[in-house]
Structure 1
Amino acid sequence: MKAFIFDMDGVIIDTEPLHNEIVRGILAKDNIFVTDKEFRQFTGMASTAVFDIFIQRYNLPHSADQMSQDQMTTLKEYIVKHQMKPIDGIVPLIENLHKAGIPMAIASSSRPDVIKFVADFFNITPYFQLLMSGEDLPHSKPAPDIYLQTAQKLNVAPADCVVLEDSVNGTIAAKDAGMYCIGFANPNSGNQDLSRADIIVNKITDIDITKL
């Protein structure tokens, strides 16, 4: 292992169910109602890609970018209002990797401002060499684009990277990028198929960096 890459939603902060609730509220304004089962297939995808699907499906008179901005504004307000905490064990894992001299990055489908907001809110920004957003890439997870670009920017071969993911789309992206993937079975991320992951953990504290 020469680099460790974190997904954010559902890995660093428990926001997957919150994202779903906010997106549902935005779509409901156009009388579009989405079930939990439908939402599971979108977990880990960039919000603009998700909104694009609904804009095309229902011919909505909105831009995906504006809908995504509305979603992220609501999300940030919620995080501050409820003083959300990092997922248990994630900060000690980051600190241990830092002590071991392992370069780290966040590679998330969230917008760049939200990634920085969360990292700053949890006071973990200085630990990371790179905060990478998939919003501006041609293809969202499950495409491997974000992980390949992250490895390139870190100047580390994909095969030397370890990824921590909580979604089926994220694990597919990491494995198709040629990386070692730890699947975090976060119950709040829904019933995600993490079978592509190299190992699956139920708690972040189960990750032993000396074995990676």
Structure 2
Amino acid sequence: MKAVIFDMDGVIVDSEAAHIKMKIQALEEYGIACSPEECMPYFGRSSNAFFSDFIKKSAAHISLQEIVARKHQLFLQYVANDGNVNPIEGALELIHGLRRNNIPLALASSSVRSNIEWFLKKFGVFDCFDVVLSGAELSESKPNPEIYLLAAKKLGTGPQECVVIEDAEAGVTAAKMAGSYCIAYCNPVYKNCGQDVSSADMLVNSLTDISAERIIGINI
């Protein structure tokens, strides 16, 4: 193992409930109804993928770029004003532990860069990452492995030498397709919503169940 790549939403930040709420609000502003259950299959995927599908299903003449931008605006307003979006238990300690052991780290998230940087700076871990990638800037989103292949390349190592920490089915699929070792955090938010992360190499119920030393000891 030469490097570790983290997803963000649901792994570092307990933000999925807020994302669902703001997606529904953005759609409502454009006259499209959506339930929380309809959002769940899109965990781990980009806002572009989510809104593109809903625009097609509604046959509405809506600018994808415009509604995505509105959702991100609503989300940042929500987290800035409400402040009730917290780090996942054990995530920050794990990041700092890996950094203390001089393990190269990358952040590979489907979120937009503004959200990524806001949270990493808020939680004091922005400078811990050697590489920060936003899937919203790439041609394909998870479960396509593009973001993990690029993260490994920017870290200067092969994807098969990286450990990826994910929580959503799309992200686990992307990590395994890239050839990486994948640890899946079984986020309780996803319980009973059809998320299957069983293809991961290791499943944990809490990030406190793994340590920097345990990850460093993974033989891949």
On whether the aligned pair clears a TM of 0.5, the verdict is: yes
Aligned mates of 2:211, 2:69 — CA distance in 1: 37
Matches within 5 A, 1:144-183: 144-183=145-184
CA–CA distance in 2 between the matches of 1:14 and 1:135?
19
> In the alignment, does 2:134 pair up with 1:133?
yes
Percent identical pairs in the alignment equals 38
Deviation for aligned residue 1:118: 1.0
Letter in 2 for 1:209: A
Q: Tell me the TM-score normalised to structure 1 length.
A: 0.94
Q: Note the alpha carbon deviations across 1:128-147, whole angstroms, 9 max, x for none.
A: 01110111212110110111
Contact 2:24–2:36 (Cα < 8 Å) also in 1: no
Task: Look up the SS of the partner of 1:135 in the other structure.
Answer: helix
- Check whether the contact 1:10–1:189 (CA below 8 A) recurs between aligned residues: no
Cα distance in 2 between the residues matched to 1:60 and 1:156: 44
Matching residue of 1:63? 63
Q: Shift in Å at residue 70 of structure 1?
A: 1.3
Q: 1:197 aligns with which of 200, 206, 218?
A: 200
Aligned residues: 212
* Residue 85 of structure 1: how far off its partner (Å): 2.4
Alpha carbons 1:14, 1:188 under 8 Å: kept: no
Mapped to 2, the partners of 1:106 and 1:41 lie a distance apart of: 22
Letter aligned with residue 130 of structure 2: Q
**Is 118-127 or 189-198 further displaced after alignment?**
189-198
Could you list the structure 1 runs, at least 4 aligned residues long, displaced by more than 4 angstroms after superposition.
none
1:77 is matched with which residue? 77
Query: One-letter code of the match for 1:17?
Result: A
Unpaired segments of 5 or more residues in structure 1? none
User: What CA RMSD, in Å, does the superposition of the two structures yield over aligned residues?
Assistant: 1.4
C-alpha displacement of 1:124: 0.8
Tell me how far 1:32 sits from its aligned partner: 2.6
Runs (5+) with no aligned partner, structure 2: none
How big is the shift at 1:72? 1.4
Tell me which moved more, 24-33 or 132-141: 24-33
Residue in 1 aligned with 2:120? 119
Q: Does 1:54 align with 2:54?
A: yes
Cα distance in 2 for partners of 1:198, 1:27 equals 36
